[in-house]
Amino acid sequence: MYSSLVQYVAYRTLPRAHLQFESSSERDYHAFMEQITVDGQRFSISRAARDDVEVLVGLLADDILGSTRETADLDTYFEAFTDIDADPNQFLAVIRDADKEVCGTFQLTLIPGLARGGAKRLQIEAVRLGPSTRGKGLGSAIFTWAHEWGRSHGAALAQLTSDKQRRDAHRFYDSLGYLATHEGYKLAL
């Protein structure tokens, strides 16, 4: 069963001064990649490929809550990846360090809507960083990158949900300017 959630919604622009973004010259669907530099360390953000699924599931499971939710059966994850990859409103990201090792992931979803004057929303989910990259500014950098990606795709606001047990994550989202404005509910189907 799902535990309670807190809904966070972002309303303000975040500074980019400490980041350097470099886009790849190729713009096809899977070749897209951007480089970011955080305190002198280089990372790449690109669209995940099927070959990344197993390591991304490992990142999702490497977590107190994820360890009880994720399964060893990769077939369901490959099916989900196929659906995500086929949807132009989805961006499943893989983050690699300078040695090209996967060190993080997140999923972005563009949600068109009629509410708020027809505003498009950017939903940010499944944000995970490997233990070696936590606490070094990469989390803030990927959120800045995600916000820029959302803006460039027409999103007017960013939102995310976070389990109520993740108090450290809530402090992090607060530090980014997110506001806990809604209660979220889930129902298993």
pTM over 0.85: no
Please list the ranges in the chain whose pLDDT falls under 70: 1-32
Q: What pLDDT digit, counting tens, does each position of 34-44 carry?
A: 899 998 999 99
What residue spans define the domains of the chain? 5-184
Assign 143 to helix, strand or coil. helix
- What per-residue confidence (pLDDT) applies to 32? 61
- What per-residue confidence (pLDDT) applies to 18? 40
Q: Is 53 left (phi over 0), alpha (psi -120 to 50) or beta?
A: alpha
Question: Would the CA dihedral through 89, 64, 147, 10 be positive or negative?
Answer: positive
Q: How far apart are CA 39 and CA 46, in angstroms?
A: 20
Residue 92 φ then ψ, to 5°: -90, 115
Structure tokens at 163: 């389990």
- What per-residue confidence (pLDDT) applies to 29? 46
Angle, to 10 degrees, between the axis of helix 74-86 and the axis of helix 53-61? 110
Q: How far apart are CA 115 and CA 117, in angstroms?
A: 5
**Which stretch of DSSP H or E encloses residue 68?**
helix 66-69
The CATH topology of domain 5-184 is: Aminopeptidase (3.40.630)
Question: Would the CA dihedral through 69, 138, 47, 164 be positive or negative?
Answer: positive
Return the ∠ at Cα 21 (arms to 19 and 24), rounded to 5°.
Answer: 160
Q: What pLDDT digit, counting tens, does each position of 98-118 carry?
A: 999 999 999 999 999 999 999
What are the Cα distances from residue 94, in Å, to 47, 49, 53, 171, 179?
6, 8, 9, 24, 26
